[in-house]
């Protein structure tokens, strides 16, 4: 009898707890008690002629911009951890000989240079995991080329930086770019392209998503468990076809009759 009485008490207690709960919000609505801060990174003006890198919080521009307009600058990506705001971007310091610039990130407005400024460099994406700061980008340090107008430039080398230490993903033989980064445990995933091939790198090892027959780009990467998702696009001979790849298997998002590009991907468990 004691066991039955105890069981009845537990059932009554659980029922009472559930009866005190507020009903769930309507689908698509936002609970009245929820508060969010919205951060946006970007730039003001012409980034080829004195653009100012900055970010906004809840629609208000931060009073101290990341750069002062004396150089051309862009803020490309933003991450917020606790009260710390991290912004990745670059400043262009010269347009001669193919251009020069500094890839960097700012932590709470304080600049952390990733390169010396001796070549044209870019920072495209930033992720912060614990105390580690990861930034993807590239540097024009590859093979020297000359275009049809006699201008000399160098191939971009795809790179990422971990706490300021650089890891080169390509050797500069082909033009390459690192666009997006995801960290899962000790594994580092970077999406981008090299030459005509869309690809991603896992811990520095390249995995091609296309065979290079048609120009293709990988713009964004997400990793859920053992599954790797990448968004991008591939040329079909007439137009760009938006696609995503799951573990290397392509899924077309457009029919190829118009130019369509996929730029970002998020995967949500249901």
E strand intervals along 70-151: 72-81, 84-94, 100-107, 110-113, 121-129, 132-146
**What is the pLDDT, as a whole number, of residue 67?**
87
What 3-state DSSP class applies to 44?
strand
pLDDT score of 13 more than 80: no
Residues 64-93: tens digit of each pLDDT: 778 888 888 899 999 999 999 999 999 987
**What is the pLDDT, as a whole number, of residue 244?**
98
Cα–chain-centroid distance for residue 236? 26
Beta bridge partners of 85: 80
Residues 228-244: tens digit of each pLDDT: 999 999 999 999 999 99
Average pLDDT over residues 140-158: 87
Q: Are residues 207 and 239 in contact, defined by beta-carbon separation less than 8 angstroms?
A: no
Q: Where are the domains of the chain?
A: 37-124+155-173, 181-270
**Residues whose CB falls within 8 Å of the CB of residue 215, separated by 6 or more in sequence, listed in order:** 196, 234, 235
Of 51-55, 102-106, 157-161, 249-253, which range is least confident?
51-55
The maximal CA–CA distance of the chain, rounded, in angstroms, is 95
* End-to-end CA separation in angstroms for the chain: 43
Structure tokens at 97: 């000989």
* Sheet order of strands, 60-61 included: 39-44, 52-57, 60-61
User: If pLDDT is split at 50, 70 and 90, which confidence band does 17 have?
Assistant: very low
Q: Are residues 107 and 58 in contact, defined by beta-carbon separation less than 8 angstroms?
A: no
User: Rounded to whole angstroms, how far apart are CA atoms 135 and 106?
Assistant: 11
**What is the pLDDT, as a whole number, of residue 225?**
94
Residue among 243, 244, 225 at smallest CA distance from 235: 243
Structure tokens at 63: 């009073």
* Sheet order of strands, 227-235 included: 216-224, 227-235, 240-246, 249-252
Cα–chain-centroid distance for residue 105? 13
Residues 107-127: tens digit of each pLDDT: 999 999 999 988 889 999 999
User: Rounded to whole angstroms, how far apart are CA atoms 230 and 125?
Assistant: 15
Q: Are residues 162 and 132 in contact, defined by beta-carbon separation less than 8 angstroms?
A: yes
Of 130-139, 143-152, 237-246, 249-258, which range is least confident?
143-152
**What is the pLDDT, as a whole number, of residue 31?**
54
**What is the pLDDT, as a whole number, of residue 150?**
79
Q: How far is CA 65 from CA 37, 90, 106, in A?
A: 19, 14, 11
């Amino acid at each position: 009898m004691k066991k039955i009485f105890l069981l009845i008490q537990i059932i009554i207690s659980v029922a009472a707890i559930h009866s005190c709960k507020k009903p769930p919000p309507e689908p698509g609505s936002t609970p009245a008690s929820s508060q969010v801060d919205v951060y946006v990174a970007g730039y003001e003006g012409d980034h080829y002629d004195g653009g100012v890198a900055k970010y906004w919080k809840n629609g208000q521009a931060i009073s101290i911009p990341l750069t002062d307009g004396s150089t051309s600058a862009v803020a490309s990506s933003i991450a917020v951890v606790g009260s710390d705001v991290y912004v990745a971007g670059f400043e262009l310091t010269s347009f001669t000989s193919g251009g020069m610039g500094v890839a960097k990130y700012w932590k709470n407005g304080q600049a952390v240079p990733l390169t010396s400024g001796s070549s044209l460099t870019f920072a495209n994406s930033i992720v912060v995991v614990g105390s580690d700061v990861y930034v993807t980008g590239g540097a024009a340090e590859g093979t020297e080329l000359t275009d049809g107008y006699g201008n000399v430039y160098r191939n971009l080398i795809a790179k990422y930086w971990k706490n300021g230490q650089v890891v080169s993903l390509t050797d500069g033989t082909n033009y390459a770019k690192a666009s997006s980064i995801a960290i899962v445990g000790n594994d580092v995933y970077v999406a981008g392209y090299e030459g005509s091939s869309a690809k991603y790198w896992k811990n520095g090892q390249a995995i091609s998503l296309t065979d290079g027959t048609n120009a293709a780009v990988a713009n964004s990467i997400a990793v859920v468990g053992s599954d790797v998702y990448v968004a991008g696009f591939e040329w079909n001979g007439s137009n760009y076809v938006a696609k995503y790849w799951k573990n290397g298997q392509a899924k077309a998002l457009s029919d190829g009759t118009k130019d369509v590009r996929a730029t970002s991907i998020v995967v949500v468990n249901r």
